[in-house]
Amino acid sequence: MLFSKKHKIGDTISQLRKEKGWTQAELASKLLVSDKAVSKWESNKGEPSIEFLPILAQLFDVSLDYLMTGKEKEDKIITISKLELCAKKDDVDMYKELKLSSDYKDENGKTIFDYVFKYESCNIFKVIMNSGNYISRHKDDNQFLENFYYMRIKCNDITVIRDLIRLDYINSTINHHLDNFEKYIGYNGSRLISVLRKVISDRIIELILYDKKTSSAIKEAMLSNHLEKQNNYFSPAISFPYLINYAVQKEDIKLSKLLLNKAIEINQNNANIQYYPGCYIGFVDIPKSTFDKMLELENYELIELANNCNKIYKEKYINNSLYKNDAYMLSNYNIESNKIKHNSKLSKKEKDLQLCIHNGLVCLNELIALNDYDLYEKTLKKYPANEYEVIFKAINDKDYKKIFEYAVQHSITDIIDAIRNKKLDLIEEKFCKYIRSKHSPSYGSNKIILSSDINKEYYTIYNYKRNLGLLNIKGKDNELSYQKFIDMKNKVILSKVLDKDIKFIEKACKTATQKELDEALTQIASDNFKGIKILLDAGAKVHKEWIDEDGVRHDEIDNIETDILKEKIKNLQK
């Protein structure tokens, strides 16, 4: 045991950290450890390893002996000013006897606020907290304001509610769309004194959520799902998303669930409030960090609640110019992939394969990246790669229920009518007509995406000088078919497989253009002799580039160099 049984180093670390005004997360950042490690030390459930001791002593400006024993050397005499002494004792009478203003600085250059923040002197703070001029001078001092509001909550100053519902998290990543009001709020509703908006810290949230001494009125106001009306200012608490995040990060599932349900109610209620100048219609926008932690916890009930909360925000405010449709949400694929990653029953190969499947569609690039040609071929036969392929297959299989559901979802009236009138032989024709009408390139367009799924580069129509490629919706071969989509699914982009299994290169060469073959020859690894031979056999040519006297660049096929390269590769493979 490094330390005395009577002395608990965790208590000393906690005391010294608070004196510095640091949060556990801030201390953890300085030590390059997790905040959980610091929390473990301070709760005396573990001790820092020996290499951290000199760093801690240096950070806190104390001796190693003090850190390990909690005692200073006997010959050390501690002298403090009278101002600090009355704050340390939290003695209001002693402070009043000094008859000093709140901006008076002692011999150490410190004010009474500095010492009150250090010792959390609640009695003296209650006397000096309404020093308006002093607050005004610190309106841009983030650390002062964080300490100031922390003490107001610590002292159960109920009037702090007026500001708390408008204050934002100190490290906020959310755009609350507050425009000109974003940086400041009027202190206690004042139009004369403004203070920074972003001052809520983790330790303030800790007071609100978990400190039993915090006034119930403050807790209820901050955790309320009702609107607060303060001088025509509506808000459910701008920091509400971070209260949720804090509870989730602490893995407090019960509280997280409660807060998320309240967040949903807030967003539902606020949808009916009309915006006007000076009024902020509050919403709760759950940040990505919260979703990341919920994925880590594999708590899909919380994820569903968080998704519902942000979904309401996206849907309700999508037509409101004040707000933008930018709330974060987890897709079904995000959720399913997380389940796959944490499934101990699956092998790595099975996990890799399942992660290539997005809502029933296979991502071709992700599948090719696995570099397993046999698995690639097997998977292509089993999974579709485009939503239209799914419907064409349903037409072939005469699965009219699936076709009808798709037609209703996408409002394809021609198909709906054909099914209702039992003109089933017209369904494929109507479906092809729908695709053409929805995706045919318009004049002046360079590229049109045929479908919004993951395989965009495989299902793209290029419209350059009216020459259309790939699915060729307009042109001589203008018939759309199930087979055409299957053919596109089996197309391999040559430039993406030059470092893959030889079979991928062979397949890509079958549909590659001359330009693609020639470019591949310059991109492939110089020691990939098998790959180079496949490219040459498929017709790839070596190019030579040169600039003439007029500065014109020329690019010509060099058949001599191509033949030399063929012979060289042939000899190397013997």
The DSSP 8-state label assigned to residue 418 in this structure reads H
- 10 burial (CB, 10 Å; 0-12 / 13-18 / 19+) is buried
Q: What is the pLDDT of residue 442?
A: 53
d(CA 139, CA 133) in angstroms, rounded, equals: 10
Indicate if 257 and 392 belong to the same structural domain.
Answer: no
Indicate if 432 and 366 belong to the same structural domain.
Answer: no
Tally of domains within the chain: 5
How long a stretch of residues is the chain?
574
Q: What is the CA radius of gyration of the chain?
A: 34
Q: What is the pLDDT of residue 539?
A: 93
Q: Which amino acid is at 57?
A: A
- Residue showing tokens 């590659």: 512
Indicate if 391 and 306 belong to the same structural domain.
Answer: no
The DSSP 8-state label assigned to residue 358 in this structure reads E
Q: Is residue 93 part of a domain?
A: no
Sign of CA dihedral 205, 221, 147, 112: negative
Task: Pick the last residue of a domain from 285, 304, 323.
Answer: 323
Sign of CA dihedral 474, 479, 480, 485: negative
Indicate if 311 and 219 belong to the same structural domain.
Answer: yes
Half-sphere exposure of 69 (CA within 13 A, CB side): 8
d(CA 236, CA 263) in angstroms, rounded, equals: 9
DSSP string, 458-508: GSEEEEETTEE-TT-SSSSS----HHHHHHHHT---GGGSTTS-HHHHHHH
Name the pTM for this structure: 0.67
List CB contacts of 284: < 8 A, sequence separation 6 or more. Answer: 236, 240, 241, 244, 263, 266, 267, 309, 313
Indicate if 498 and 483 belong to the same structural domain.
Answer: no
Indicate if 403 and 293 belong to the same structural domain.
Answer: no
Asked whether 281 and 236 are in contact (CB, 8 A), the reply is: no
Output phi, psi for 428, to 5 deg: -65, -40
- Pairing assessment for the beta strands 168-169 and 198-200 based on DSSP bridges: parallel
User: How many angstroms separate the Cα of 509 from the Cα of each of 277, 367, 505, 540?
Assistant: 63, 18, 6, 9
What is the span of the domain harbouring residue 518? 494-572
3-state secondary structure of 311: helix
Asked whether 195 and 184 are in contact (CB, 8 A), the reply is: yes
The terminus-to-terminus CA distance of the chain in angstroms comes to 69
Task: Pick the last residue of a domain from 24, 48, 69.
Answer: 69
Q: Is residue 262 part of a domain?
A: yes
Domain holding 27: CATH number? 1.10.260.40
Q: Is residue 547 part of a domain?
A: yes
Task: Pick the last residue of a domain from 47, 69, 91.
Answer: 69
Asked whether 291 and 245 are in contact (CB, 8 A), the reply is: no
Indicate if 378 and 388 belong to the same structural domain.
Answer: no
Q: Tokens in use for 236?
A: 């459910």
Indicate if 155 and 226 belong to the same structural domain.
Answer: yes
d(CA 373, CA 497) in angstroms, rounded, equals: 11
Residue 358, beta-bridge partner list:
361
User: How many angstroms separate the Cα of 340 from the Cα of each of 149, 337, 369, 372?
Assistant: 44, 5, 18, 20
425: how many CB neighbours lie within 10 A of its CB?
Answer: 8
Q: What is the pLDDT of residue 444?
A: 45
Indicate if 414 and 501 belong to the same structural domain.
Answer: no
Q: Is residue 369 part of a domain?
A: yes
Indicate if 174 and 310 belong to the same structural domain.
Answer: yes
Q: Tokens in use for 136?
A: 């005004």
Q: What is the pLDDT of residue 468?
A: 41
Q: Is residue 82 part of a domain?
A: no
Q: Is residue 374 part of a domain?
A: yes
pLDDT in tens, the chain (574 residues): 444 456 788 888 888 888 887 888 888 888 888 888 888 888 888 888 888 888 888 888 888 888 887 776 444 555 789 999 999 999 999 999 988 877 788 988 999 999 999 999 999 999 988 776 788 888 899 999 999 999 999 999 999 988 888 888 988 877 766 654 568 888 887 778 888 989 999 999 999 999 999 999 999 888 887 665 544 444 566 888 999 999 999 999 999 999 999 999 888 877 666 554 444 556 788 999 999 999 999 999 999 999 999 998 777 765 554 555 568 899 888 999 999 999 999 999 999 999 999 888 999 999 999 999 999 999 999 999 988 999 999 999 999 999 999 999 999 999 999 999 999 999 999 998 888 777 665 544 444 555 556 887 777 655 444 434 445 444 444 577 888 888 888 989 999 999 999 999 999 999 898 999 999 999 999 999 999 999 999 999 998 887 877 778 888 888 889 999 989 888 887 6
Half-sphere exposure of 12 (CA within 13 A, CB side): 24
Q: Tokens in use for 569?
A: 């590769």
Chain centre to alpha carbon of residue 316: 22
Q: Is residue 118 part of a domain?
A: no
d(CA 438, CA 163) in angstroms, rounded, equals: 52
Indicate if 346 and 457 belong to the same structural domain.
Answer: no
Rounded to 5°, the CA angle 49-55-57 comes to 100
Q: Is residue 184 part of a domain?
A: yes
User: How many angstroms separate the Cα of 176 from the Cα of each of 8, 198, 303?
Assistant: 44, 12, 22
Q: What is the pLDDT of residue 75?
A: 46
Indicate if 282 and 171 belong to the same structural domain.
Answer: yes
Q: Which amino acid is at 448?
A: I
